[in-house]
Amino acid sequence: MIVRIMGEGQVKLDDAHFVELNKLDDELLDEMESGDEDGFRRTLSGALLDAVRRLGTPLPDDSLEPSELILPSEDATLDEVKQMLSDDGLIPG
């Protein structure tokens, strides 16, 4: 799956990593629902996006692959991320 982190670029992730990423997405949703800004920031930039970067293979900057998943940048606000959510959170499944 091709994942885009807004403002950074794209990475290719093996589907096997989505179990781990969904757990982090669930944590992020809980923090958003409770209004825990510090937890939200820690989970978004310190866990979820770091995991995508660590587990994924970066695509070249000139690659124009269609992104199957778009994640917010690490400096996105809680309100901006809320607008990106689906019923499943940021990561479907």
What are the pLDDT digits (tens) for 56-78?
A: 999 998 888 899 999 999 999 98
End-to-end CA distance of the chain: 13
Q: Classify burial at 43, counting beta carbons within 10 Å of its beta carbon; exposed 0-12, middle 13-18, buried 19 or more.
A: buried
pTM of the model: 0.88
In angstroms, the CA 36 to CA 13 distance is: 28
Residue 11 near residue 59, CB atoms below 8 Å: yes
pLDDT tens digits along 16-25: 998 999 999 9
Rounded to an integer, what distance in angstroms lies between the CA atom of residue 12 and that of residue 18? 12
